[in-house]
Amino acid sequence: MMEESITITGNGNICLEGYLNRQETGKALVLAHPHPLYGGNMDVPLICRMAACFQSAGIATLRFNFRGTCGSSGEFDNGRGEQDDVRNALAFLSDQGYDQLFLAGYSFGSWVNAHVVSAGVDVCDHIMVSPPAALLSFDQVEQLPNTGLIITGENDDLAPVYLIEDLLSKWKITPQMSVISNADHFYVGALDELGDILLDYLQS
């Protein structure tokens, strides 16, 4: 996947490093990575696989490192400042001329994104991979419009199906729910199946 290195500037002189893949469709995606205190960053294999799927569907992608992660400035902010990071990434894409914005996140990234969408940031589609309902509270997420797809693993202890279903009932939404057999939170050996699910969804 052809990507260019970019810098996203935000509040408090925060500078975020990222990689942008450009497309001519007017559609673009922000990808949010897993928890940085547990090794999460924009280069984890699942984030890269998701980016490749969106690119194959003609959607530009922006994957970036949250504040305090790798080469991004600032410090980890327990999800508060990270919500601003997502907003600034979406604004960056708007400034690049993209007018149809998508949002996707994996684990901690999906938790951050959920708060952004619940607060009223409008996106064309919102995709969650392994929202960590057993680890982080979604109590402040009161609504989740335009959520089209949720993926989790059958053996994902951090994002178990029953807790996700409870959240969907609370939010009164009915996205496509895909559960990958024998997969845990890290999708070892299951990235191909996850990619197939995502591509089928994007092309449907």
Give the chain's end-to-end CA distance (angstroms, integer). Answer: 22
* pLDDT at position 11: 83
* CATH classification at residue 59: 3.40.50.1820
Neighbouring residues of 78: CB distance < 8 A, sequence distance ≥ 6: none
Q: What is the pLDDT of residues 85-118, one digit of tens each?
A: 999 999 999 999 999 999 999 999 999 999 999 9
* pLDDT at position 34: 99
199 in Cβ contact with 56 (< 8 Å): yes
90 in Cβ contact with 28 (< 8 Å): no
The candidate with the shortest Cα–Cα distance to 195, out of 2, 47, 43, is 47
Q: What is the pLDDT of residues 135-169, one digit of tens each?
A: 999 999 999 999 999 999 999 999 999 999 999 99
| pLDDT average, residue stretch 17-29 | 98
Range of the domain at 143: 4-203
Average pLDDT, the chain: 98
pTM for this prediction: 0.98
Alpha helices by DSSP H, listed for 77-185, are: 80-95, 108-118, 161-171
> By CB neighbour count within 10 A (0-12 exposed, 13-18 middle, 19+ buried), where does 52 fall?
middle
Count of domains for the chain: 1
Amino acid identity, residue 74? G
Cα separations in angstroms, 66 against 27, 133, 179: 22, 20, 27
Neighbouring residues of 101: CB distance < 8 A, sequence distance ≥ 6: 27, 28, 29, 30, 90, 93, 94, 123, 124
Split at pLDDT 50, 70, 90, the class of 12 is confident
